[in-house]
Amino acid sequence: MAMTRIEDGIQDTEPIRFLELLGLDEEDLAGYSIRLNSSNPEWGKWSDLPDAYYFSYDDLMKWIFTKKWPDKDKATAQIHTRKVLQFIQLKPENPHPTQWLFVGAYDVLDEYTENDGKILYRYNEIPEYASLKARAVVYYKRDPGYTGVVFNLSNNEERRRDFLKTMTLEKIAQSPVSALPFSGYENVRLTHRQLVAAVNNEEWRAALGSVQAVYLQTDRRTGWHYVGSAYSRKGASHGLLSRWKEYASGDHSGGNKQLRNLGAGYIEKNFQYSILEIFDMNKSPKEIIDREHWWMDTLGSVRRNNDEVPHGYNSVAERENSDQHE
- 91-108 pLDDT, tens digit per residue, is 766 778 899 999 999 999
pLDDT at residue 9, as a whole number: 47
The β-bridge partners of 275 are: 215
User: Among 168, 155, 158, which Cα is nearest to 33's?
Assistant: 155
pLDDT > 70? residue 1: no
Distances (CA, A) of 158 to 22, 151, 162, 285: 20, 12, 6, 63
What is the mean predicted confidence (pLDDT) over 264-272? 92
The string of pLDDT tens digits covering residues 129-181 is 999 998 899 999 988 777 678 999 999 999 999 999 999 999 887 666 666 66
* Order of all β-strands in the sheet with 212-219: 189-191, 271-279, 212-219, 225-230
Q: Give the separation between CA 209 and CA 242, rounded to whole angstroms.
A: 7
pLDDT > 90? residue 279: yes
The string of pLDDT tens digits covering residues 213-263 is 999 999 999 999 999 999 876 545 578 999 999 999 888 988 888 899 999
Note the pTM of the prediction, 2 decimals. Answer: 0.65
* Better-predicted residue by pLDDT, 18 or 75: 18
Q: Which of 28-42, 206-220, 300-314 has the lowest mean pLDDT?
A: 300-314
Q: Give the separation between CA 184 and CA 205, rounded to whole angstroms.
A: 13
Q: Is 264 helix (H, G, I), strand (E, B) or coil?
A: helix
What is the mean predicted confidence (pLDDT) over 274-288? 92
| Cβ atoms < 10 Å from Cβ of 35 | 19
The number of residues making up the chain comes to: 326
Computed on alpha carbons and rounded to an integer, the radius of gyration of the chain in Å comes to 24
pLDDT at residue 42, as a whole number: 65
Q: Give the separation between CA 21 and CA 33, rounded to whole angstroms.
A: 17
Q: Quick one: pLDDT band at residue 65, thresholds 50, 70, 90?
A: very high
What is the mean predicted confidence (pLDDT) over 1-11? 46
Residues 36 and 142 sit within 8 Å (Cβ to Cβ): yes
pLDDT at residue 93, as a whole number: 67
pLDDT at residue 325, as a whole number: 44
pLDDT at residue 307, as a whole number: 73
Residues 240 and 230 sit within 8 Å (Cβ to Cβ): yes
pLDDT > 60? residue 11: no
The string of pLDDT tens digits covering residues 184-204 is 899 898 888 888 888 887 788
* Better-predicted residue by pLDDT, 321 or 53: 53
What is the mean predicted confidence (pLDDT) over 293-318? 86
Task: Indicate the helix (H) or strand (E) that contains 4.
Answer: strand 2-7
Q: Quick one: pLDDT band at residue 8, thresholds 50, 70, 90?
A: very low
Identify the structural domains of the chain with CATH numbers, from first to last: 2-172 (no CATH), 179-320 (3.40.1440.10)
Residues 75 and 67 sit within 8 Å (Cβ to Cβ): yes
Angle at 212 between CA 207 and CA 214, to 5 degrees: 110
pLDDT > 60? residue 326: no
pLDDT at residue 225, as a whole number: 95
Residues 185 and 211 sit within 8 Å (Cβ to Cβ): yes
| Cβ atoms < 10 Å from Cβ of 153 | 28
pLDDT at residue 141, as a whole number: 92
Q: Quick one: pLDDT band at residue 7, thresholds 50, 70, 90?
A: very low
Q: Quick one: pLDDT band at residue 3, thresholds 50, 70, 90?
A: very low
